[in-house]
Structure 1
Amino acid sequence: MTKKLWFQAGVGILLALLIVKYFLEIKSLFYPIVALLSAIFVPLLAGGILYYATEPIQRFLEKRKFPRWASILTIILLLCLAVYGFIAVIVPPINAQINNLVKTAPTLANELTNMVNTVLNNRDNFPSQLNDAINSVMDSIQSYAVSTSKFLVQFISSIVSGAFVLILVPFFFIYMLKDHEKFAPKVYNLFSGSRREWIKKTLAEINDVLRNYIQGQLLISFILATIIFTGYKIIGLEYAILLALLAFFMNMIPFIGPWIALVPAVVVGLLQDPILAVWVCVITLVAQQIDSNFITPNVMGKSLDIHPLTVITIILAAGNIAGFVGILIGVPMYAVGKVVVKNIYEHRKEIRSTATKNV
């Protein structure tokens, strides 16, 4: 029985739970390690995203006989030019829209308050089911406002740590560009024989999964944000650049992100002209149909091969466990875990097949 896969998997799970249990009980002993890992996690994550985003450029340059130092210097110069272009071209209209939003915020708040008061004053004329729905929405809005205020306090308190992160990100990024081929060999060279080949294959597949996911999500987000910005400009929606930027970052979250970005756009449309809210929904629906039928299948292909329901479940679970960072990294971490489990299964299958042939 001890040689059965289910028995070994059960023992492994129990041991992992025991390790976690005792780790939590003596967490003060490991606090310096946890503090160090939590301090470098965000800059390491940001550096990794930058590396995978610019890795195709480095590959392109080095195929044309650029030495490593020249390719790194070229990438840094290109990033500096991109940041300068963003500041010169995008920041002025964004700044103007932010100033306009600050000036009109009291008016927008009054209009929203009047709309809510109108609904509440006439609620006696509504069916009971509609009143229940209104109460539920009001409770949700209140809880959302409380959570938003807490988030703003946390955001302000994290500005100092954010400066520390900005200092560390370039170091991780440049190190990855310089020595990215050395990581995997340092790991699998610790082993020998078939185990060495298995670890080498697994690390290569993990690298492929992370590259495909990060590069694909960045490209998809950029295309969708461009489509949404174009649509908002056509219908004359205010704060189009700000809403498109929000859509770009929210589209990093599969399936759920685009609909999160839809909410503020609909609110702006309702306050500007109710018909615009309808057009905002139409634009988002069209963008999502273009994404699901044309963009994602051609950009991502079947590199992750994860069912949409599984993605939504992962996002919800990761969000409850680790907040926004969990939502951001939940899907790629699941994909990495899936690669590891698949390779373990295939490795065990090969071992059994070899043992059967020897018998």
Structure 2
Amino acid sequence: MSENKNKFEGNSRYFTICIYSIITVLVIAIIVRAVFFWESTSETLNRLLSSLSPFFIGILIAFLINPLVSWMRKTVFKKWLHIRNDALNRMLAILFSYLLVISVLIVGLIYLIPEIIDSLNQLLNQMPEWGNSIMDFVNNLSERYPDIDFKYLQKTITNADSSLQDIISKLISGITTTILVTGVSVIKFVFNFIVAIIVSCYLIIDKKMQARGTKRVIYAVFKKERADKIWNVGKNSIRIFSNFFDGKMIDSLIMGILCFICMMIINFFGVKGFAECSLLISIIVCVTNMIPYFGPFLGGIPSVLLLCIYSPKSGLVFAILIIILQQLDGNLIGPKILGDSTGLRPLWIIFAITVGGWAAGVIGMLLGVPCVAVITGLTEDYVNKRLDEKGIDMPILKNEKVRKSKPKIRKKSKSK
């Protein structure tokens, strides 16, 4: 009897409390360490992110190239070439997708970098001439209207001319330095690129097995009801991200092709610079169009400056062209391709782009929209669940023509 009384018996409740206490202390310690020793913490995080960058790049490559792999597997090799072996079909689709993307990137870099540097050099050489033309115009105005003081305007133009020349000179030297540094550290770059490609390949090949493994871990750690919620949230988040990026990539590709065709057509009317810069500008428009709303203008401003090298008329014509293409994309092409992939109103999209751009620059502007879409989707699910529990029927008005009505309270049937 005495042995049984002295025997230690475990208590799952106290064990759970102990685990939560240890986790809480660790989290507080990490927060205190990060706040009071931020410089060393930031340096450690930067080293960690730098060492893990090939894996992050590989995840991004896999996420972006997966739609092309799926299309080639289902359409090219299965439907057109009638390859029925799933393993062979998948491997061929992955191989040809990567070869296609890498070939396009190599050819694009070989062609674009020299053209960008040459265009900037031409812009730098033309700037003194433009400055002299503007100064002559201001001097003529001062002669016509001697009562008006144009000294401040003349000083501003002179300072702006020198400032722009300095900026472009630094930009050209920065591009050249970047190319040289990349050439010096080419071994590290090649190694990281190869690791990223290998990681992305394995992610695409084993995506079903990885999804299955993740699901097993979630259901093993959490209760079934909580696991169902976590799994559904993860699937919806990935679906929103995938729909947004797939649709945006197709939409941007169409916009780049349309821009190239329109510039070649306008070139027949004798507008200078459209034939020389059509490919470069079309690629710029295609890439920047990935950013909603502001993307076409972010790509249009440098494109207008490039065309102004040849003549201000060319820049004006392209400005009109990009406005027309943006309206066409926003009202016809974009809604047809994207549909309601994010489910966000324009105000929330602008908010997501603004906050994302402030937090992480161009990448933040690109990722801000799907992130806010995921948050609003989860919030909407929670609100719908709470309203349903309270018996309130309050649907979301999807258009302004719907008649406003008071919330209806569903009467709960009395159980006998």
Shorter chain as normaliser: what TM range? 0.7 to 0.9
The answer to whether the 8 Å contact 2:112/2:280 transfers is yes
- Opposite residue 36 of structure 2, the aligned amino acid is E
Aligned residue for 1:239, secondary structure, equals: helix
Select between 248-257 and 188-197 the one with higher mean Cα deviation: 188-197
Aligned equivalents of 2:222, 2:126: Cα separation in 1: 64
Counterpart of 1:268 in structure 2 is 306
Counterpart of 1:114 in structure 2 is 132
Counterpart of 2:358 in structure 1 is 320
Across the aligned residues of Structure 1 and Structure 2, the Cα RMSD in angstroms comes to: 4.4
1:297 Cα offset (Å): 0.8
Aligned equivalents of 2:265, 2:298: Cα separation in 1: 22
| One of 188, 205, 210 as aligned partner of 2:218 | 188
Within-5 A mapping of 1:173-322: 173-181=200-208, 182-183=210-211, 184-189=214-219, 190-236=221-267, 237=274, 238-322=276-360
Aligned residue for 1:271, secondary structure, equals: coil
Select between 91-100 and 32-41 the one with higher mean Cα deviation: 91-100
Within-5 A mapping of 1:69-148: 70-81=89-100, 83-84=102-103, 94=112, 97=115, 101=119, 104-118=122-136, 121=139, 124=142, 142=163
Q: Deviations over 1:217-268 (max 9, x none)?
A: 1101100011111111222213111111111111111111110111122223
1:46 aligns with 2:61: yes
The answer to whether the 8 Å contact 1:319/1:326 transfers is yes
1:171 Cα offset (Å): 2.3
1:153 Cα offset (Å): 4.4
Aligned equivalents of 1:279, 1:349: Cα separation in 2: 54
Aligned equivalents of 2:162, 2:350: Cα separation in 1: 23
The answer to whether the 8 Å contact 2:237/2:374 transfers is yes
- Opposite residue 285 of structure 1, the aligned amino acid is I
1:318 Cα offset (Å): 1.7
Call closer, same or farther: CA 1:100–1:339 in 2, change over 3 Å: same
Counterpart of 1:37 in structure 2 is 49
Higher relative contact order (CA 8 A, sep 6+): 1
Q: Deviations over 1:124-161 (max 9, x none)?
A: 579899x78x959x779959975994897498298447
The answer to whether the 8 Å contact 1:319/1:327 transfers is yes
- Structure 2 residue ranges without an equivalent (≥5): 1-26, 268-273, 392-411
Q: Deviations over 1:169-205 (max 9, x none)?
A: 2123112212222234245323232222222221221
Select between 321-330 and 143-152 the one with higher mean Cα deviation: 143-152
TM-score if structure 1 supplies the norm length? 0.74
Select between 335-344 and 112-121 the one with higher mean Cα deviation: 112-121
1:329 aligns with 2:356: no
The answer to whether the 8 Å contact 2:122/2:309 transfers is no
Call closer, same or farther: CA 1:78–1:49 in 2, change over 3 Å: closer
Select between 233-242 and 179-188 the one with higher mean Cα deviation: 179-188
1:284 Cα offset (Å): 0.9
Aligned length: 340
Identity, % of aligned positions: 20
Counterpart of 2:399 in structure 1 is none
Select between 257-266 and 118-127 the one with higher mean Cα deviation: 118-127
If you compute each CA radius of gyration, which structure gives the higher value, 1 or 2?
A: 2
Within-5 A mapping of 1:155-166: 156=178, 159=182, 160=185, 163=190, 165-166=192-193
The answer to whether the 8 Å contact 1:202/1:343 transfers is no
Call closer, same or farther: CA 1:188–1:277 in 2, change over 3 Å: same
TM-score if structure 2 supplies the norm length? 0.66
Call closer, same or farther: CA 1:82–1:201 in 2, change over 3 Å: closer
Aligned equivalents of 2:178, 2:66: Cα separation in 1: 28
Q: Deviations over 1:82-129 (max 9, x none)?
A: 5446766x6786578558637745543343433454466567579899
- Structure 1 residue ranges without an equivalent (≥5): 1-15
- Opposite residue 36 of structure 1, the aligned amino acid is L
1:46 Cα offset (Å): 3.4
Select between 304-313 and 76-85 the one with higher mean Cα deviation: 76-85
Aligned residue for 1:303, secondary structure, equals: coil
| One of 25, 48, 71 as aligned partner of 2:36 | 25
- Opposite residue 185 of structure 1, the aligned amino acid is K
Aligned equivalents of 1:50, 1:175: Cα separation in 2: 13
Counterpart of 2:8 in structure 1 is none
